[in-house]
Amino acid sequence: MDAFFASVELLRYPQLKGLPVVIGGGRRNVDDRLLQSPDGSGPRDPRFIPVSDFPLLKDYVGRGVITTATYPARQFGVGSAMGMMKAARLCPQAIVLPVDFDEVRRYSRAFKAAIVEIAPVMQDRGVDEVYIDFTEVPGGQREGGRVLARLIQKSIFDKTGLTCSIGVAPNRLLAKMASEFNKPNGISVVYEEDLQALIWPLHVRKINGIGPKAGEKLAGLGIHTIGELAAQDPQWLMARFGKSTGAWMHRVAWGQDDSPVVTESEPVSMSRETTFDRDLHAVRDRAELSRIFTDLCVRLAQDLQRKGYAARTIGIKLRYEDFKIATRDQTSEAHIADAASIRQLAGQCLKRVPLDKRLRLLGVRASGLARRGQERAAVATVGPDAPPRPAAAGAAARRQRDPVGSMDTGQLF
């Protein structure tokens, strides 16, 4: 989907089309006031709010990162995952809006429903991305798949008012890269014979699976493009990146990917995290940290329950003021999905991390997931490499009957 989070907001505020808009940061009082009439007479129609009333990025105070930005904002160098303060220096005149997750999820479900009506073999890859197998769809091979891609674009737009960009290729690896070639609202078809002309000139980071660390290491070895990676001897890559990773790098540089489009897949984990507006101290800001910590656990429990899962392992993530990260996890004897048990296990994790520095970020993660009703079978399949921890399990089981508010406040926060 094209600038999905921003595009959803432009449906609500069509007067902002063509303007630099960024979505991100925390929700502020100014965002709530925007929807109220200046005279206090009640809510006003979002479509008719004057552009001059919208909050600007230059006035944003606090932390947070950009979720996405409209294409006019991207022309100034603003992009996803960029810090709000850095973005404000690049494009101070941009309008800034918070993320409306409920609305985003609603449109996500709508555009995916439009796709499966046409091409039912679809793999969900998050809120704004999917893989689709055209192989058995009638007309799926016409013009190399371009005809079906146009039909999908039209169906999504007719039902949601949103645009998307589609890459069509022999496999998922190349299709994902192709989907970035002609944004927004574009279609790009890549054939096997296009590998050297279209794929090899791209930077190695364009390969899904090569992250910042691997990209930096490759750059240190003088490898910047996919073509340069393809030119390396497989044994040379395996000696430097390990047998499995080195062999994989060579294959993908040659456009080889046999991973199927999987219509149903189980999530590995679920998490909730937040970046604070200011660095918080574990002692002096204990009350605020406790409130945030509990809220994260409650929201994580709601996610698990809404999607029908229970978790066996709960973990935490801390980012300190110096940007160093600490993670810990605790495994329960039984699967859990309630906020009280999640907070109890997460609290046990907190006792095992240093809290002598201020904190920038706090997160809670659930893994070892099982469908509700299938927890016993999932536990039975766990091998000796992941033994249960009965002490934590007993505490979690006792807390399962208690509301969040009655939990032990003697924890670190």
- Lowest mean per-residue pLDDT among 45-54, 80-89, 183-192, 373-382: 373-382
Q: What is the pLDDT of residue 377?
A: 57
375 is catalytic: no
**Contact partners, residue 94, CB within 8 Å, separation at least 6:** 19, 20, 21, 22, 56, 57, 69, 73, 76, 78, 87, 88
* pLDDT over 70 (residue 63): yes
The DSSP-derived string for 26-48 is ---HHHHHHTB-TTSSSB--GGG
What's the rounded mean pLDDT across residues 319-333? 90
8 A C-beta contact, residue 392 and residue 332: yes
Q: What is the pLDDT of residue 385?
A: 40
CA 226, CA 250: separation in Å to the nearest integer?
9
Q: What is the pLDDT of residue 264?
A: 72
* pLDDT over 80 (residue 411): no
**Contact partners, residue 162, CB within 8 Å, separation at least 6:** 1, 2, 4, 7, 8, 11, 107, 111, 156
Q: Are strands 309-320 and 187-189 parallel, antiparallel or unpaired?
A: unpaired
Query: What does pLDDT average to over the chain?
Result: 88
Q: Is 390 helix (H, G, I), strand (E, B) or coil?
A: helix
Higher pLDDT, 356 or 401: 356
| Cβ atoms within 10 Å of 403's Cβ, excluding its own | 10
Q: What is the pLDDT of residue 119?
A: 93
Find the helix packing angle between 243-253 and 234-241, rounded to 10°: 140
Q: What is the pLDDT of residue 222?
A: 96
pLDDT tens digit string along 84-125? 889 999 999 999 999 898 899 999 999 999 999 999 999 998
This prediction's pTM: 0.70
| Cβ atoms within 10 Å of 93's Cβ, excluding its own | 12
Q: What is the pLDDT of residue 376?
A: 62
- Lowest mean per-residue pLDDT among 32-36, 45-49, 198-202, 287-291: 32-36
CB hemisphere CA count around 347 (13 angstroms): 24
* pLDDT over 60 (residue 293): yes
CA 188, CA 399: separation in Å to the nearest integer?
54
What's the rounded mean pLDDT across residues 38-48? 88
Confidence of residue 324 (pLDDT cuts 50, 70, 90): confident
What's the rounded mean pLDDT across residues 300-325? 92
* Residue with token string 């606090």: 62
Higher pLDDT, 255 or 403: 255
Higher pLDDT, 102 or 389: 102
Confidence of residue 26 (pLDDT cuts 50, 70, 90): confident
pLDDT tens digit string along 250-280? 999 999 999 888 887 667 789 998 888 788 9
Sign, Cα dihedral of 162, 167, 171, 174: negative
CA 281, CA 175: separation in Å to the nearest integer?
46
Catalytic residue from among 129, 273, 288, 333:
129
Share of the chain above pLDDT 70, in %: 90
**Contact partners, residue 36, CB within 8 Å, separation at least 6:** 42, 43, 44
* pLDDT over 60 (residue 412): yes
pLDDT tens digit string along 1-16? 999 999 999 999 999 9
Strand partners, 315: 329, 365
Q: What is the pLDDT of residue 126?
A: 87
Confidence of residue 399 (pLDDT cuts 50, 70, 90): very low
Strand partners, 366: 270, 314
Higher pLDDT, 40 or 151: 151
Q: What is the pLDDT of residue 378?
A: 56
- Lowest mean per-residue pLDDT among 57-71, 202-216, 217-231, 289-303: 57-71
